[in-house]
């Protein structure tokens, strides 16, 4: 008689094996990377139609003989059917990320999903305000990739949207997907304004005037006219952008706000934006 299945055995049996095929460090750092996986069986990552941009997956790795599971937003888009791209930061004392980062190309993991409701299907509103800290950018990269794909395919699956993306990081080198997002903004197919902001500019050799200053929550509040911000680094927009132009893209009644990443940022903006009349706020806390 075979050994009875424990719950985790049951879950493991439902997960699919995939192989690490690419590891791209962000800003030359060993602890911040785009990790790309492909299913071992060569089939699409998810059955067609299941995955909506903005969702996450479960990823399991073996750590000292035990399979451990964590959730990761998917940065690749549904149109990228044959790989799974994740944007992950190394948590030095974490249980899982040190193993993920130590794995060589070819290493096997298990994954399952997709799951989550942090998707564009949740709103009909024409204006999107996407706000992230750190790797909380991942779901927005997926959304933008998919919107661009749908526009190019001309299938009309997506409504025209005005998108304002705020990304907050500590240093310029932490800006994952910076070139892709600038390219998407400049090519003009999507109506996108991309506002990266750096919270430690005084210690940052990579800082320049094309980047905002201050924590992303402080910058958003400043754009929306809050004059009572107490911040170590006073918020300032990138050169060439002005608050009035941005406010015109972010009327409370036409805008859906998405908040992803650091729970402190999310809690503060949820409260601030709620008080300003924003009544569609979707959140994805990473811890
Ligand atoms: C829905 C969802 C989606 C997520 N997507 C991503 C993602 O796309 N990329 C990603 O890097 N992480 C993501 N996370 C976090 C991820 O699940 C793990 O918690 C993280 O990788 C740490 O795992 P660990 O075992 O190494 O650390 P643990 O031993 O679990 O320690 C967790 C601690 O690490 C810190 N921490 C966790 N995640 C982050 C982070 N992203 N940035 C900074 N500090 C963090 C927090 O202080 C937390 O208490 C997501 C979490 C959720 C709930
Ligand atoms: N080894 C590597 O290569 C590497 C690379 C990147 C990150 N890391 C480590 O990974 C961890 C996570 O770093 P991260 O930069 O991805 O994420 P993070 O620490 O969450 O910082 C991202 C942004 O969120 C801001 N922030 C932090 N707490 C906040 C709060 N309560 N409310 C609003 N904003 C807040 C930060 O501002 P502040 O600057 O004011 O804190 C920063 O602008 C850190 O421990 C970091 O040292 C390692």
Tokens of 223: 């754009």
Residue 257 pLDDT exceeds 90 = yes
The tally of CA atoms less than 13 A away on the side-chain side of residue 260 is: 27
C-alpha closest to that of 90 among 38, 16, 29 = 29
Reported as a single tens digit per residue, the pLDDT across 185-234 is 999 999 999 999 999 999 999 999 999 999 999 999 999 999 899 999 99
pLDDT value, residue 3: 52
Give the ligand whose atoms come closest to the C-alpha of residue 214: 2
Residue 45 pLDDT exceeds 90 = yes
Is the beta carbon of 90 within 6 A of some atom in ligand 1? no
pLDDT value, residue 160: 77
Determine the 3-state secondary structure of 137 from DSSP: helix
C-alpha closest to that of 67 among 102, 23, 111, 106 = 111
Is the beta carbon of 89 within 6 A of some atom in ligand 1? yes
pLDDT value, residue 9: 82
d(C-alpha 203, C-alpha 201), whole Å: 5
The answer to pTM > 0.75 is: yes
DSSP, residue by residue, 15-68: SEEEEEEEEEESTT-TTEEEEEEEETTSS-SS-TT---TT-EEEEEEEETTEEE
> Prior bond to 255 cis, omega within 30?
no
Q: Average pLDDT, whole number, for the chain? A: 95
d(C-alpha 31, C-alpha 116), whole Å: 26
d(C-alpha 158, C-alpha 146), whole Å: 9
Is the beta carbon of 221 within 6 A of some atom in ligand 2? no
pLDDT value, residue 1: 43
Is the beta carbon of 85 within 6 A of some atom in ligand 1? no
Give the ligand whose atoms come closest to the C-alpha of residue 283: 1
Is the beta carbon of 110 within 6 A of some atom in ligand 2? no
Give the ligand whose atoms come closest to the C-alpha of residue 116: 1
Going 277 to 283 to 286 to 287, the CA torsion angle's sign is positive
Set out the domains of the chain in order of their start, with CATH numbers: 7-115 (2.40.30.10), 120-285 (3.40.50.80)
> By the 8 A CB rule, do 85 and 146 touch?
no
pLDDT value, residue 2: 47
Determine the 3-state secondary structure of 167 from DSSP: strand
d(C-alpha 207, C-alpha 168), whole Å: 13
Is the beta carbon of 134 within 6 A of some atom in ligand 2? yes
C-alpha closest to that of 69 among 22, 115, 132, 134 = 115
State the distance from the centre of ligand 2 to the C-alpha of 107, rounded, in angstroms.
Answer: 28
Percent of the chain with pLDDT over 90: 90
What is the residue whose two structure tokens read 């409260």? 271
Alpha carbon 198 to its chain centroid, in Å, reads 16
d(C-alpha 268, C-alpha 38), whole Å: 37
Could you give the residue ranges of the DSSP H alpha helices within the chain?
7-14, 97-102, 138-153, 178-187, 216-223, 243-248, 263-275
State the distance from the centre of ligand 2 to the C-alpha of 50, rounded, in angstroms.
Answer: 32
């Amino acid at each position: 008689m075979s050994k009875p299945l424990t719950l985790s055995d049951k879950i493991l049996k439902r997960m699919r094996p995939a192989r690490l095929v690419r590891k791209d460090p962000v800003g030359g750092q060993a602890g911040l990377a785009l990790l790309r996986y492909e299913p071992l069986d060569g089939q699409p990552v998810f059955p067609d139609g299941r995955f909506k941009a903005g969702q996450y997956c479960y990823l399991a790795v073996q750590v000292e003989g035990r399979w451990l599971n964590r959730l990761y937003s998917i940065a690749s888009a549904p149109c990228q059917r044959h790989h799974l791209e994740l944007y992950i930061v190394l948590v030095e004392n974490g249980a899982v990320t040190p193993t993920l980062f130590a794995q060589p190309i070819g290493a096997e993991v298990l994954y399952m999903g997709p799951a989550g409701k942090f998707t564009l299907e949740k709103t009909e509103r024409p204006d999107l305000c996407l706000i992230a800290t750190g790797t909380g950018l991942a779901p927005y990269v997926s959304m933008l990739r998919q919107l661009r794909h749908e526009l190019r395919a001309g299938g009309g699956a997506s409504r025209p949207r005005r998108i304002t993306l705020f990304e907050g990081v500590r240093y310029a080198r932490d800006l994952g997907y910076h070139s892709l997002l600038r390219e998407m903004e400049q090519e003009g197919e999507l109506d996108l304004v991309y506002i990266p902001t750096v919270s430690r500019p005084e210690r940052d050799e990579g800082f320049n005037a094309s980047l905002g200053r201050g924590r992303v929550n402080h910058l958003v509040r400043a754009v929306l006219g809050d004059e009572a911000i107490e911040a170590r680094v006073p918020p300032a927009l990138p050169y060439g952008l002005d608050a009035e132009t941005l406010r015109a893209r972010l009327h409370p009644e036409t805008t859906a706000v998405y908040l992803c990443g650091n729970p402190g940022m999310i809690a503060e903006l949820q409260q601030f934006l709620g008080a300003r009349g924003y009544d569609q706020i979707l959140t994805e806390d990473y811890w």
